[in-house]
Amino acid sequence: MDDKIQIKQIEDVELENPIIFEGLPGIGFVGKIVVDEIIKQLDATKFAELQSDYFPPQVTVKKDGLIDHMKNEFYYVKDFGEEKRDLVILTGNTQATDYDGQIAISRELMNFFADLGADKIFTLGGIGTGEMVEKNRVFVAGNDLDAINEVIELDNTHIRKDEGGSIIGASGLLLHYAEEKDVKAVCLMGETPGFFVDPSAAKEVLMVLFKLLGFEFDLEELDEKIETTLKRLSLNPQFNPNMMEAQQAPQPAPSDDLRYIG
């Protein structure tokens, strides 16, 4: 393993060909919102943590003033969905930002998932439009035609028309490294303006997962977040287009403002 990456096992858990959800911070924090909702509502259990010197050199501050370090976290849920499968969820407060780090960490993640006997991986993210969207569509890509087609039959799912368009960060690289390990992988991308944290896009991605895997839960909290976001936007209708650019790179965890300390 790359010596700038450590995976610390917290609980020794037996998993049977789990499904994997990846939801690291990215555009609109769409993937992260999705998986953090699932972790909370399905009461998932944390069983491992990845730390890395590739992560940004910073800490975050919690409600009580205690700091938290940069990390990716692994959770599991038993008896998930219609088929009562094992589910593993990857979340975190950061992604590596440079090329070497993104490549090394995505490879380690895929190795870790393959060692768990992963059956199929869903990488979850946002796709930035740069402008407000009426209805957040969900775009699909993957390394297996059958897996793509299974999604494309559902409502509100699409294949991108801009052939050659890119998928950056872990959401993209995991598709490629999964292919090298013969693991089926699908990426679901919620359409989002890209310049704010977007629970609406997350909800649409979640709806696709509901239909695909036959699980469901209370959307009330997510609906409240959507309402709060819409209220804020109506109060501040003009966005700084420069923020777009910033959002296109993988990013640390969302914060309500842009204040940093050095």
| 35-43, 172-180, 212-220, 231-239 -> range binding a second copy (CB under 8 A) | 172-180
| Interacting residue with a second copy among 1, 10, 59, 233 (CB under 8 A) | 59
| Interacting residue with a second copy among 143, 198, 200, 202 (CB under 8 A) | 143
Torsion of CA 238, 242, 243, 245, to 10 degrees: 140
Alpha helix ranges (H) inside 181-240: 199-213, 220-235
Q: How many CA atoms lie within 13 A of 82 on its CB side?
A: 6
Q: Nearest distance from residue 47's CB to a second copy, in Å?
A: 22
Instruction: Decide: is 14 part of the binding site for a second copy (CB under 8 A).
Output: no
Instruction: Decide: is 160 part of the binding site for a second copy (CB under 8 A).
Output: yes
Q: Which is nearer to a second copy, 43 or 257 (by Cβ)?
A: 257
Which residues are within 8 A (CB) of 243 and not within 5 positions of it... i.e. 6 or more apart? 195
Instruction: Decide: is 200 part of the binding site for a second copy (CB under 8 A).
Output: no
Instruction: Decide: is 172 part of the binding site for a second copy (CB under 8 A).
Output: yes
Instruction: Decide: is 54 part of the binding site for a second copy (CB under 8 A).
Output: yes
Which 229-248 positions form the footprint of a second copy (CB under 8 A)?
Answer: 247-248
Q: Nearest distance from residue 14's CB to a second copy, in Å?
A: 31
Q: How many CA atoms lie within 13 A of 6 on its CB side?
A: 6
Instruction: Decide: is 182 part of the binding site for a second copy (CB under 8 A).
Output: no
Which residues are within 8 A (CB) of 59 and not within 5 positions of it... i.e. 6 or more apart? 67, 68, 69, 70
Which residues are within 8 A (CB) of 233 and not within 5 positions of it... i.e. 6 or more apart? 196
